[in-house]
Structure 1
Amino acid sequence: MKLLNHSVLALTVTALISGCSSFQQRDQMSKFNDAYASGDYHGALDVVSFKTDEDKPVDSEKYLLELLHQGEMFRLNGQFEEAAQAFDLAEEGMKYLDTESLAEEAGEGFLAVMVNDSERDYEALMSEAVLVNTYKGLAFLAAGNNDYARVEFNRADDRTRRAVEFFQKEIAEQKEALAKEAEKEESQASLISDNLQSDDLNSAIAENYGALSEWSVYPEFMVPASTYLHGLYFLANSSTSAEFGNAATSLMRVSEMNPDSDVLKADAKLAKELADGRQQATDLQPQVWVVYENGLGPVLEETRFDIPLILFHQNQQAPAYFGIALPKYADRAAVPGNLDIAADGGDVVSTEQIADMGTVIRTEMKERFPGVLTRAVASAVVKAVIQNEASERLGVWGQLGSAALTIATTQADLRGWQAMPNHWQAARLDRPESGTLTLLDQQGSLLGTVDIPERPFTLVYVKRPSITAPATVITMDLRGETAASISQLPKPADGTQISSTD
C-alpha cells in the first residue's frame, strides 16, 4: 500500500508539472515560429532569450533548445560572434553525444517513465549537433576567422562519421540498463522486456504508427548539406593532393546520395580532378557557389493509440490495452521553386535541390526509435500496474483517479530545433566580370543584386524560411580571409538593412 501511495503521489505531482511545462514549451515555440517565418529574427530572438546570472555559468543543458534557436537568429541578424558563442554553449549542452555515459542516460530514462520524455532536459539529435558545427563554421567564416571555421567543418564531418557507432552503442546500453533494472526488487523491467518482444505490440505499432521499413531514409546517416559545405570549404582551402582528396571524398559521398544532381556531380568531378592533379586551382576561373537554404524544417506531431500489454494479475498473465503517445515527424512548407541567378550577358543559372532535412531526421529517427519506443512502453507498463493496484485497493475512485493522471502524463516529446530548413539547393558559376549577380525568386521577380568581390572562391549563402519572409544573403570568402557582407532581399520598404560586417 505504501508503494502505491508513493506512486500515485509521484504521478499526481508529475502530471501537474508536465501539463504546465508542456504548455509553456509549445507557447514559446508558437511565438518563435510566428516571428521566424515572417523574417522577424530580432523578435524571434527575444522569444528564446532567458535571464542569466552573471556570476554563474549558463546551464547549457537546461537551456539547450533556447541556445540552438538563439545561435541561428544571431547568425541571420549578422551577429556572427554572438552566433558562435551561442552555438558553443549549445554544443556544451550536447556533450552527452560525445562523453556522457549512455548507461547513465538510459537510467535517467527509466526514472522518467512516470512522466514523459518532455520532462527531461532537451536532448538534441545527432543531425542537430552536426548542423551546429556547420552553422558555427559558417559564422566563423563570415567573421573572417578561417582557423576556427576549419575546426568546425572538421567537427561536423567527425560527428557524421561517428554517428552510426553512437546509435548502436545507445541501443546496446539501453538494453543493458533494462537488464540491470530487472534484477531490482519491485522492478517492472522484465514485464517491459516481455512486452517489447510481443508480436501483438509490434503489429499495433506498425498499424498505427507505420512500419519503419517504409520510411523514406538515406542509405546511411549523413546531413548532406553539412558534408557538402565541408567539401566546398576544403576545395577552396587545400594546397596538397591529400587535402583535395578530403574535399573530393565529401563531395562524392553527397553526389552518390543524390545521383540525379548535376551540380553535385560537377563539384565532385572538379574536386577529384584537383586531387588527381589533372586540374590546378590556380588555373580556375574565380568560382561562386550559391547555397539556398529553403523553407521550414520538419516538426514533431503526437500520435496516440492503444497498445496490447501483457500484465500480471494475481500472479497470472492478463492482457490489457493501454494508451501510449509517440512522436512523428511531419514536413512543413517550403518556398516553391528555385532561385535563379542572372550574370553578365543575361545567362541564368538555377539552383537545384541537393538535400532535404526531413529525410535526414527520419534516417536518424529510424535508428533511435527503439529507444523512444522502449521508454513509451516502460511508461505504459508502470502506469498500468499502478492503475490496476489503485483499482483493487481503492475501488472505482482509485481507478478513475489513476486513469485521469495517466492520461495527463501520457505525452510525446514534441520539442525540436525549429530553425532548420525544409531543404537545401545549390548552384555554381564563374564569377561575372561585372562583379554583380542578380537573384530572382521562384516567379522570376527581382529579389535584388549581390556584389561578388574579386577572389578565387566565394560562397553566397541564402536563407529564406517562408515566402512571406525576405531572403537573408550572406556573401562569404570561402578562404575566410575577409569578413562577409549580409543583406536582406528584397530590401525592406523602410530602407533598413542588416548591417554589413565588411
Structure 2
Amino acid sequence: MKYLLSLLYPLVFFLIWGCASYQGKIEHFNKLYYEENQEKAYDFSKKFIKNDLLWEIQNGINAFVIGKYEESLKTLDEAETLLNKNQAQNIFSSSFDNIGATLINDNVKSYHGNIYEGILINYYKALDAMVTGDEARARIEFNRANDRQRRAKEYYQKEIQADLKKNKDNQTKKNTSSEKLDTNTSQEQVDSILNSQYSNLKHFKAYDGFVNPLISYVSGLYFSLQKDPKGIDLLKESYGINHSDIIGEDLVLFQTHSASSKKYTWIIIEDGKSSSKKEFTIEMPPIVVDKKIYYFKISVPELEDGVNFYTSFKLKAKNAKKFDEISIFDGVIANEFSKQLPYILTRAIISAGYKTSLQITLNELFGDIGGIVGALFSATTTFADTRITTVFPHKVWLTRLQNYQGKVILKGNEKNIFDFELIDCKQKDPLTQTAQTDHLKICKNTDNLIYIRTTKNNIIPKLLIGEKQ
C-alpha cells in the first residue's frame, strides 16, 4: 500500500499542476492580448510554441495583428503542418493518447486542434499574404480554407462514428470488476445529458454546414475584385448563412457592374473575444457493490459565450450604410463542439467506469484504505479538457461605402474610435506595410478593403486591398 501511495501522490500532483499551469498561462496571455499590449502577448506566447498547436495558433495570429507578417506565416505554416498530421491519424488522437485520456482525463493528450482552427489558419495566412502583396499565396490560402470547409462535414461524420464505435467496443472488454457496474453508456444517457446541459447549442443551426461565412465572404470579395467567377459562388455561400444586406448588394454589384468606374471601400471589423470553455461536473449517484459505496462523477467541458467589446458600429461618411453582423464565432465553435460532444461524453462515462472499477479492485485487495485511495485518485484526476484558442473574435461586422474625397469616421458605441481619409492619388504606391497611426490616407481611385481588430483598449487597422499615400 505504501508503494501504491508513493506512485499515486506524484501523479495526482503532476495532473493538478498541469491543468493549473495551462489555465494560468492562457489567462495571462488573454490579459496581455486584450487589455494591455499585443507585443507583450506575442513575446509571452512565443515561449510555448514548440510542438504545441494551441500556442502556435495563438502566436501566429498575434503576429499578424502586430504586423509581423513573415513570422506569422512561418508559425502558422508550422501549426498547419501539425494540425494536418493530427488529422491524418485522426483528430481525436492516437490510441496511446486515448488510453491515457480514458484512464486519467483528456488533459494528458496533446492539443490536437479543431477543423475550424485549421480553416482559420489558412484564412489568416491569406490575410498575411494580402498585406505583403503576395497575390499567388493569398489565392492558395483562400482556396485551402474553403476546401477545408467543404471537407469538414464528411470528416466529422467518418471520424466521430469510428471513435464512438471503438469506445463502445473497448467498454465491452472490461475486466470482471468493471462488469459489476452499470455505467449505462447507452446513446439514451448521452442524449439525455446533451438535451439537458447543452440545449443552447441548438441556437446555432445556421452553422451546421461547417461554413464560417467570414471565410466565404472575404475570399469571395477577393476573387470577385480580381474578376474571378468563383468569387460569386463564395459570396452566395456567405449570404446563404447570414443574409447580410451588404453581401446581397455585393452580389448584384459584381454581377451587373463589374466594369463600372465606381470604386468602393469595404470595412471588416473583428470585435470581441470568442467562446471559452469551462468545466461542468455531473455528480452521479453513489454506486453500491457488495455493500460498499463508490464515488462516481464525470467532468465535461461546456462553452461560455464570447464577449463583445462594442455593441454597435457606425460610419460618419457620405451615403454611409449600416454595419451588418456577418459571422458569430460562437456559432462556428459551437457547431463543431456539438459534433464532438457524443464522443466526449461517451469517453467520460467510460473513464468514470474504469476509475470506479479501480476503487473496487483496490478495496478487494487492500480493504477500506485501498477503496479510499481509489476514490482519491478518481476525484483528483477527473477534469474536463477546457483548452481552447482565445485569439479569435466574437463577432465580425461589415459595411461598404462608395468612394469620395474626404474624411471617414468610424464610431463604436457612439464614440469616435478611428478615422481615415479618402484622397485623389496622383501617384499610386502599392501597399507595403500597415499604417502605424490611426489616420490612414487611402486612394479613392481604387477598391479598398480595410481590416480592423478591436481589443478592450486598442483599434488595430490594416489595409488588405487597395493603395494609400
Which interval holds the TM-score relative to the shorter structure?
Answer: 0.7 to 0.9
For the aligned residue pairs, the C-alpha RMSD in angstroms reads 3.1
Post-superposition shift, 1:66?
1.2
8 A Cα contact 2:56 2:79, kept in partner: yes
Equivalent position to 2:30, from 20, 33, 36? 33
For 1:396 and 1:320, the matched residues in 2 are separated by 11
Distance 1:185 1:379 in 2: 11
After superposition, the Cα gap between the structure-2 partners of 1:389 and 1:165, relative to the gap in structure 1 and judged at 3 Å, is same
Alignment of 1:217-236 (within 5 A): 217-218=205-206, 219-236=208-225
Matched, 1:448 2:400: no
Q: Given residue 271 of structure 2, which amino acid in structure 1 is its aligned partner?
A: N
Corresponding residue for 2:248? 265
Alignment of 1:430-445 (within 5 A): 430-434=402-406, 436-445=407-416
Q: 2:447 aligns with which of 445, 457, 472?
A: 457
Aligned to 2:233: 249
Structure 1 stretch 177-186 or stretch 155-164: which is displaced more? 177-186
- Superposed displacement of residue 41, structure 1: 0.4
Whichever residue aligns with residue 138 of structure 1, its letter is L
Judging changes above 3 Å, is the alpha-carbon distance between structure 1 residues 104 and 416 closer, same or farther for their aligned structure 2 residues?
Answer: closer
Other-structure match for 1:499: none
Q: Identify which of 332, 335, 345 aligns with 2:306.
A: 332
**For 1:470 and 1:122, how far apart are their aligned partners in 2?**
30
Aligned partners of 1:424, 1:463: CA distance in 2, in Å?
Answer: 9
Out of 264, 268, 287, the residue aligned to residue 291 of structure 1 is 268
Q: Name the CA shift for 1:347/1:337 in 2 (closer, same or farther; >3 Å).
A: farther
Question: 2:332 and 2:77 mapped to 1: Cα distance?
Answer: 23
Report whether the alignment pairs 1:48 with 2:45.
yes
Q: What is the Cα deviation at residue 86 of structure 1?
A: 1.1
Q: Is the 8 A contact 1:182 1:188 kept in 2?
A: no
User: Counterparts of 1:26-425 in structure 2 under 5 Å?
Assistant: 26-50=23-47, 59-60=50-51, 63-96=52-85, 98-101=87-90, 105=94, 108-178=97-167, 181=170, 186=175, 195-197=184-186, 199-200=188-189, 202-204=191-193, 206-207=195-196, 209-211=197-199, 214-218=202-206, 219-238=208-227, 243-244=228-229, 246-259=230-243, 261-271=244-254, 273=255, 278-279=256-257, 281-307=258-284, 322-343=296-317, 346-425=318-397
Contact 2:359/2:371, CA 8 A, preserved across alignment: yes
**In 1, distance between residues paired with 2:58 and 2:75?**
9
Q: 1:321 Cα deviation (Å)?
A: 6.7
Give a deviation string over 1:155-180, Cα, whole Å, max 9, x none.
Answer: 11000000001111111221343365
- 2:168 and 2:177 map into 1 onto residues whose CA distance is 11
* 3-state SS in 2 of match to 1:74: helix
Q: Distance in 2 between matches of 1:301 and 1:360?
A: 18
**Contact in 2 for aligned 1:14/1:114 (Cα 8 Å):** no
Partner secondary structure for residue 311 of structure 2:
coil
| Pair 1:127–1:190, CA change in 2 (3 A) | farther
Could you report, residue by residue, the CA deviation over 1:60-80 in whole angstroms, capped at 9, with x for unpaired residues? 3xx111111111111111111
Counterpart residue type for residue 455 of structure 2? P
- Which of residues 468, 471, 479 in structure 1 aligns to 2:459? 471
C-alpha deviations, 1:124-183, integer Å up to 9, x for none? 111111111111100111111111111111111000000001111111221343365357
Give a deviation string over 1:290-329, Cα, whole Å, max 9, x none. Answer: 0000011110011111246999x58x9x997721111111
Q: Deviations over 1:181-205 (max 9, x none)?
A: 3576749999999722164564355
Match of 1:489 in 2: none
Query: CA, structure 1 residues 406+182, in 2 after alignment: closer, same or farther (shift >3 Å)?
Result: closer
CA spacing shift, 1:91–1:358, aligned 2, 3 Å: same
Q: Deviations along 1:373-394, whole A, 9 cap, x unmatched?
A: 1221121111110012222322
Cα shift readout 1:387-419 (whole Å, capped 9, x = no counterpart) = 122223222222222212211111111111111
Q: TM-score, normalised by structure 2?
A: 0.86
SS in 1 for 2:204: coil
Aligned to 1:498: none
Note the residue ranges of structure 1 that are not aligned, 5 or more in a row.
52-57, 486-501
TM-score, scaled to structure 1: 0.81
What amino acid is aligned across from residue 440 of structure 1 in structure 2? Answer: K
